[in-house]
Amino acid sequence: MFTIIKACLSLVGVVTLISGFAFLGAFSAAAVVVPPGGLVATPSGKDLQLSFPTTVTNYYGVQVCPDLSQPWTNVQAGLQGYGLIKTVTMSNALAAGKGFYRTVLQPKPTQLLLSQSAAFAILGYWCGGITEEVYATGFDPTNGFPTGNVYLRTSCSTGKAGSPPSIHTASVAVIWDFAGNVISTNIPATGMPANPMFIATDGFNDILYNAGANAYLIVPIPAAPTGVTVVQSGDQFQISWTPNGVNSNAITSSTLTATPVNSTNSVLTTTVTGPVTNGIITTLQPATTYQITVVSATLGGPGPASAPISVTTAPATVPPSAPAGVTANWSNLNPTATNDTLVANWQPANPGNSPVDQYLITITGSDGAGTFPQTVSGTTLSTYFNVDFIPNWSVTVQAHNAAGWGPVSSTYNLGGL
């Protein structure tokens, strides 16, 4: 008996088993392209062989559920496509009676390991390299991070002809974060389990599984962030948001973008690392409308952008502060000429409520040699003058933005040499 499932299951292929022997592959109209083609089931004793076409670079998983009213469970993960037909065997699947299977696209798995330096610190030997067998064991009940056991081994020559090598082994329990970094290690006093067929999924759809003596972690791509708020402070946007559709600890970075609307001003971006939920975009232009979006990323990749929020910056009303940290020094000295180099440096001014667009640097000679001004861009914090080093020189710096010139800095005096 054949049964066709007519269900709207996005990005999946479906096969149903009725009474343990009837099956047929089918796709909803919305999912005829991904995965391409159909899912085919072939019985083999009490086992079921699932075959499906793949595309290069894609990774696939197989899920099962007893009926379509219940959640899907991962039974295979991290199956790489290579552009060929992929076949996986579901052991004793036909003995379970009625059931539903589907394939899903997954992000690229991340292999969980110890570094060789950490392995050496635990094992105490490194003879041409340390081999690692890694077995995932679950998600830590306290912090939710992936856990596993690592078995270390290295073989060292004894230096004696005909003598067998000296084998050194150790085992260690490990906790990783959702970026695949080791958080902690603990050398257990008793033996540790090693299940090469282990697979588990947490409440955020993070998948932890073993393939032979290797452990892998799959972290889903996050959904669009929600709850985005934007507050202007000076020439900056202070932005906050709420992660969505993913474990917040799995966020590896978030990119904030401010796109000017009907303006030739530059698009502004900032990327913050880790599972933070706030960031700053700087150098805002005054009286400009920006569309603000946030994109979060995990090991699985970047998710979609948040719904754009339009914010119009205030008109420029506050000029910059006086630059601090003004210093000067001599360079390229030439006692017989008047083209010695005076180098002036300063720290950036507080920009007020629009970016600093230029600095005015003024030097004055103590012997009446004159006053020499020079302007540079608002991103420049150093400049030079070709003058005679014989008199003493005073140096001041002043910042400008769309609201006008700010106050002059304190004077720095540079003696002649």
Segment 353-393, tens digit of pLDDT: 999 999 999 999 987 778 999 999 999 999 999 988 888 99
Report whether 109 contacts 78 (CB < 8 A): yes
Averaged pLDDT, 284-304: 96
Amino acid at 171: S
Does residue 243 lie in a domain region?
yes
Number of domains composing the chain: 4
pLDDT at 92: 83
Report CA 197 to chain centroid distance, whole Å. 29
CA–CA dist 64, 69 (Å, integer): 12
185 and 249 share one domain: no
Does residue 137 lie in a domain region?
yes
| Token pair for 293 | 């979006």
181 and 271 share one domain: no
Give me the CATH number covering residue 392. 2.60.40.10
How many degrees, rounded to 5, is the angle at CA 191 between CA 190 and CA 195?
A: 145
CA distances from 25 to 37, 40, 285, 297, 406 (A): 10, 5, 57, 34, 73
334 and 409 share one domain: yes
Where in 113-252 does DSSP place strands (E)? 131-139, 146-156, 166-176, 182-186, 199-201, 207-211, 214-218, 226-233, 236-242
Last residue of a domain, one of 82, 106, 130: 106
pLDDT at 362: 98
Query: Which of these ranges, 18-32, 284-298, 339-353, 386-400, has the smallest mean pLDDT?
Result: 18-32
Does residue 318 lie in a domain region?
no
Q: Helix or strand or coil: residue 95? A: helix
Give me the CATH number covering residue 84. 2.60.40
167 and 208 share one domain: yes
Does residue 188 lie in a domain region?
yes
Last residue of a domain, one of 51, 76, 106: 106
pLDDT at 36: 36
Does residue 237 lie in a domain region?
yes
CA–CA dist 77, 214 (Å, integer): 13
Q: Is the pLDDT of residue 326 over 90?
A: yes
More confident residue, 102 or 338: 102
Q: Is the pLDDT of residue 310 over 50?
A: yes
Quote the mean pLDDT of the chain. 87
343 and 397 share one domain: yes
State the residue for tokens 């793949």. 54
90 and 21 share one domain: yes
pLDDT at 99: 77
Say if residue 390 is exposed, middle or buried (CB neighbours under 10 Å; 0-12, 13-18, 19+): middle
Report whether 110 contacts 87 (CB < 8 A): no
Percent of the chain with pLDDT over 90: 66
pLDDT at 12: 47
Percent of the chain with pLDDT over 70: 88
pLDDT at 21: 28
pLDDT at 190: 66
Q: Is the pLDDT of residue 333 over 90?
A: no
Q: Is the pLDDT of residue 189 over 80?
A: no
307 and 234 share one domain: yes
Does residue 410 lie in a domain region?
yes
162 and 137 share one domain: yes
57 and 114 share one domain: no
Q: How confident is the model at residue 42 (pLDDT cuts 50, 70, 90)?
A: confident
Spell out the residues 6+ positions from residue 4 whose beta carbon is closer than 8 angstroms to its own.
24, 26
273 and 346 share one domain: no
pLDDT at 78: 93
Does residue 29 lie in a domain region?
yes
pLDDT at 96: 63
Domain residues for the domain of 147 are 110-218
Averaged pLDDT, 55-64: 88
CA–CA dist 65, 74 (Å, integer): 9
Does residue 181 lie in a domain region?
yes
| Full DSSP string of 124-151 | S--SS--EEEEEEEEE-TTT--EEEEEE
Q: Helix or strand or coil: residue 29? A: helix
pLDDT at 77: 94
Parallel, antiparallel, or unpaired for β 131-139 and 146-156? antiparallel
Interval 122-141: pLDDT, tens: 999 989 899 999 999 999 99
Interval 149-181: pLDDT, tens: 999 999 998 777 767 889 999 999 999 999 999
102 and 36 share one domain: yes
Say if residue 414 is exposed, middle or buried (CB neighbours under 10 Å; 0-12, 13-18, 19+): buried
Q: How confident is the model at residue 29 (pLDDT cuts 50, 70, 90)?
A: very low
Interval 212-254: pLDDT, tens: 899 999 999 999 999 999 999 999 999 999 999 999 999 999 9
332 and 308 share one domain: no
CA–CA dist 134, 210 (Å, integer): 8
